Structure 1
């Protein structure tokens, strides 16, 4: 009976990894609760002997934590996002037999055990979880701020083009190519890390005050988070204007040249290729293809835009020749617009450099990359093994003084190589950029929700003095085992009444959305910011908004 009881107690798992309900007491997060006590529960903090550390115990009065039997749980597997196990329905028992879903290889002689197994068989099958791709493509909603900005931007351009085509906007008809270049400038500015760093800083300085109404802060957060909608809207608009300009040129071949038409056609092809590579389906499934196509097609198109401007400005239709004149060139609007685009694109690349790093593999699932120099809380950075191939963005952990670090979960080829073959140097962009985490500084009281390695974008707020009062909810598996002692101590040094850590290796998968709402209500938070995978972020954001709490999470184009 004892052996079989142990078997039944081991079936609760995170991503199919079996664990005992009563682990060894030497485990820092060991608990002694019975399985019945763990069926529902809340988090309760109890200090323990080691300084700055904590234990997590379930509170039987709450139902915000749900236990699961395997990876095929009704909760998304994002809450244990560091580990994948293929044999999630087959776990080894201590006696060497196999536990295959509902059956064991040994004959069950005890009638009570048979009844327990039969009861497990009657459990309803959990619904099939949505894929990450379906969440990105289908579940973002039809009226998100991102899509509204896209529609507004495209609509304004289409209206302008329609007026030009019907001879109600003569300037646009004469300068159709300029309107295409203007849209390219706008989309470039929306992705300028230098400009956005300034914009985010000014926003926090002007609106991050107690007397500013919450609705204004949340509206600003939504807008700044969704600037990609303007970027993509201007991208499509630039294509539309360039097609229109090319049509007008073909209709007036006598006053143009084959070189101008050829260069314009090449620019149009490259911009279309770049736009297709940025389509959500391609971008998600083939991110490296998207990144390289977007970069190199864009650079080539920019060079050709310069060629196009020189040809169109210097061409003399009457003589069918080119009169290269710098004075004529600098007098055109096209020249200055293109010069601005070039400066904005080149600027971040001027800060790229190869720096020494210290990479420590805290586990087979994550690594810590350390750099020299302190960084402000909420700032993100990019690193690369090869600057012209791929760049990876990570949240920066820093006390703001001597050094900063990045926590990289081993989920891709590059991040896995950091664990298996730690490099001594990496390429970095000296110009760090601001994103959604930086907008935490807009608020006075806020709840930060993270799953797995997503904690890295919030840790700086725990380490540095800041004006915002932060409450952290972190759902992960095996804090010290997967993230190392250093990360655990960083979290442990923060006041325990402001930190909720749910270790799924001990407590099973929780209902993170309910945890977030409960924490926000208890903390009287002005907003909730979550960092998780698409489904996890969507669940938390929707649950908070349903409870009347402003909430933000990363979008597919973050």
Structure 2
């Protein structure tokens, strides 16, 4: 294994291919069948083999060799299959190489394998290699919903929250919970407030900050930290469960109202029915199959039905509180009655949580460059802390896209957007001069890195962008970054490659252990690795307390399962995280 240091002493490793003469299982393209391509690939593997055999062999890679081996494909940044029309997902920063996790890494060469590899060319050509059958690739939806397990923290939170609501609803219907029976609409509004709170980026920014400040101490046991990380990552389970529960409570409230129709007005019944229809439609649009296949449709339905429901909720609360069943009329004492009811204050809270993000929306100038035809680098003014994500949009009422933020914390920050959908492709083909942004950035899973002492950060493809800030800025945790990608300079540009090289190997104040380390595996030169096995080995070598991975759904799942199987806590992007 060749090891060298940059100008600032960063620990930097390039791991050679295990079998320099192995034939990759990926089907070659037409261009790869040309004699020049075959010779170049063979020289690449011989180069890696010489590095392994002779530690004094030069560790520098000639740029032209890297360019020749790299295939021109957009899969470096996309976690979708090529036979599907790609769409912009809500988390574009998690895009990565599809061809990295599709098969196991080559086995270390044995004596027999080396003998066969060094046999004369004619005898090798006469042999017909048998290609092992690969299992059919799992669909992205099945990986997201099924392969991540049936007892995930997300699904447990969903089940617990829904069970509590159903139990309370049954008790109310059987007369054993009179308060809930008389205030069924209040329980529906309270669930709406809870689901809004779980999605409030400003509120979650505070919660994540408190978690790092309180639990990020060395004497806090690791199980407590990992439990908090699992909970914060899976708050979407509470969000979706409260959405279903609010519909159930509203159905029950409407049923009771219709039973006592003489005590209410037709306007209240009509508004309650409209709210119920909108909430039900929003829940159906958020169903995983619909959300996966028609993400933009889901996002717009969720946004506009939410706004319409909030307006109708204000009308419902106002009419319900001021209606006098004895006189069949509405009272003029609106203010004095509203402040005495819990429904009013919950509605105030919902409104504030929804309005806050939109008060920070701005149209700002941007500088966009394309290191390759597969990605764009978007630059903004102002520094940002590590682990923070941001949203950008060409049309704020239509769509928003989230990306990891790269920043040195000083004068500017940037986003790396892989060209995988209509919006991200337009950034490459027709870069705009201005974009809409939300000035309140939100915290993601990487933000919790500083909760731990030593962390391994694993990224494939453009997933590296959310981790780069930890290398550019000082952080509490000692981090090791493992990046598996293809054609670093060709696809990501000289600037991103330079950031990796400039990351310092800093010494801790009270320890001589290195605080930062970088491992880059360029598949264009070193071949396709077993990312899961590499992650486990790197975590053990670094002494990591936890592993955080950003890859496509299948790759993240494999790394998380491998690390957990080795007794190392690991976290990666989950469905609806």
In the TM superposition, residue 13 of structure 1 has moved relative to its aligned partner by: 7.5
The answer for the alignment partner of 2:211 in structure 1 is 203
Q: How does 1:149-228 map to 2 (within 5 A)?
A: 149-228=157-236
Q: How does 1:450-465 map to 2 (within 5 A)?
A: 450-465=459-474
The answer for the alignment partner of 1:290 in structure 2 is 298
**Matched-pair contact (CA < 8 Å) for 1:13–1:71:** no
The CA RMSD measured in Å over matched residues stands at 3.1
TM-score between both structures, scaled by the size of structure 2:
0.81
The answer for the alignment partner of 2:566 in structure 1 is 547
TM-score between both structures, scaled by the size of structure 1:
0.84
User: Which whole-Å CA distance do the structure 2 matches of 1:46 and 1:418 have between them?
Assistant: 42
Aligned match of 1:377 in 386, 401, 413?
386
The answer for the alignment partner of 2:84 in structure 1 is none
Aligned match of 2:518 in 499, 503, 511?
499
Count matched residues. 499
Q: How does 1:237-316 map to 2 (within 5 A)?
A: 237-316=245-324
Q: How does 1:391-540 map to 2 (within 5 A)?
A: 391-495=400-504, 498-540=517-559
The answer for the alignment partner of 1:352 in structure 2 is 361
**Matched-pair contact (CA < 8 Å) for 2:285–2:291:** yes
For the structure 1 residues 277 and 77, does the alpha-carbon distance in structure 2 shift closer, same or farther, using more than 3 Å as the test?
Answer: closer
User: Which whole-Å CA distance do the structure 1 matches of 2:324 and 2:27 have between them?
Assistant: 70
The answer for the alignment partner of 1:106 in structure 2 is none
**Matched-pair contact (CA < 8 Å) for 1:384–1:391:** yes
- Report the secondary structure of 1:167's partner residue: coil
For the structure 1 residues 286 and 342, does the alpha-carbon distance in structure 2 shift closer, same or farther, using more than 3 Å as the test?
Answer: same
Point out the more displaced range, 282-291 or 132-141.
132-141
User: Which whole-Å CA distance do the structure 2 matches of 1:71 and 1:260 have between them?
Assistant: 54
Point out the more displaced range, 148-157 or 499-508.
499-508
**Matched-pair contact (CA < 8 Å) for 2:456–2:539:** yes
Q: How does 1:128-143 map to 2 (within 5 A)?
A: 128-143=136-151
- Report the secondary structure of 1:390's partner residue: coil
For the structure 1 residues 213 and 83, does the alpha-carbon distance in structure 2 shift closer, same or farther, using more than 3 Å as the test?
Answer: closer
Aligned match of 1:363 in 350, 357, 372?
372
- Report the secondary structure of 1:377's partner residue: coil
In the TM superposition, residue 11 of structure 1 has moved relative to its aligned partner by: 6.7
User: Which whole-Å CA distance do the structure 1 matches of 2:269 and 2:278 have between them?
Assistant: 14
In the TM superposition, residue 12 of structure 1 has moved relative to its aligned partner by: 3.9
User: Which whole-Å CA distance do the structure 2 matches of 1:138 and 1:246 have between them?
Assistant: 36
Residues 1:556 and 2:564 are matched in the alignment: no
In the TM superposition, residue 34 of structure 1 has moved relative to its aligned partner by: 2.5
In the TM superposition, residue 323 of structure 1 has moved relative to its aligned partner by: 2.0
Over residues 175-215 of structure 1, what are the superposed CA-to-partner deviations in whole Å (9 max), with x where a residue is unaligned? 00000000000000000100000000011001111111111
For the structure 1 residues 279 and 80, does the alpha-carbon distance in structure 2 shift closer, same or farther, using more than 3 Å as the test?
Answer: closer
In the TM superposition, residue 509 of structure 1 has moved relative to its aligned partner by: 1.2
Question: Relative contact order, CA 8 A, sep 6+: which one is greater?
Answer: 2
In the TM superposition, residue 112 of structure 1 has moved relative to its aligned partner by: 7.2
For the structure 1 residues 41 and 186, does the alpha-carbon distance in structure 2 shift closer, same or farther, using more than 3 Å as the test?
Answer: farther
For the structure 1 residues 425 and 33, does the alpha-carbon distance in structure 2 shift closer, same or farther, using more than 3 Å as the test?
Answer: same
- Report the secondary structure of 1:426's partner residue: strand
- Report the secondary structure of 1:396's partner residue: strand
Unaligned ranges ≥5, structure 1: 1-7, 25-29, 57-69, 85-110
User: Which whole-Å CA distance do the structure 2 matches of 1:377 and 1:120 have between them?
Assistant: 52
Runs of 4+ in 1 over 6 A off after TM superposition: 8-11, 44-47, 76-80, 111-114
User: Which whole-Å CA distance do the structure 1 matches of 2:350 and 2:534 have between them?
Assistant: 46
**Matched-pair contact (CA < 8 Å) for 2:95–2:463:** no
User: Which whole-Å CA distance do the structure 1 matches of 2:468 and 2:451 have between them?
Assistant: 17
**Matched-pair contact (CA < 8 Å) for 1:82–1:410:** no
In the TM superposition, residue 41 of structure 1 has moved relative to its aligned partner by: 8.1
User: Which whole-Å CA distance do the structure 1 matches of 2:324 and 2:369 have between them?
Assistant: 64
**Matched-pair contact (CA < 8 Å) for 1:9–1:21:** no
User: Which whole-Å CA distance do the structure 2 matches of 1:529 and 1:31 have between them?
Assistant: 35
The answer for the alignment partner of 1:34 in structure 2 is 46
In the TM superposition, residue 167 of structure 1 has moved relative to its aligned partner by: 1.0
User: Which whole-Å CA distance do the structure 1 matches of 2:130 and 2:549 have between them?
Assistant: 36
For the structure 1 residues 213 and 482, does the alpha-carbon distance in structure 2 shift closer, same or farther, using more than 3 Å as the test?
Answer: same
**Matched-pair contact (CA < 8 Å) for 1:367–1:409:** yes
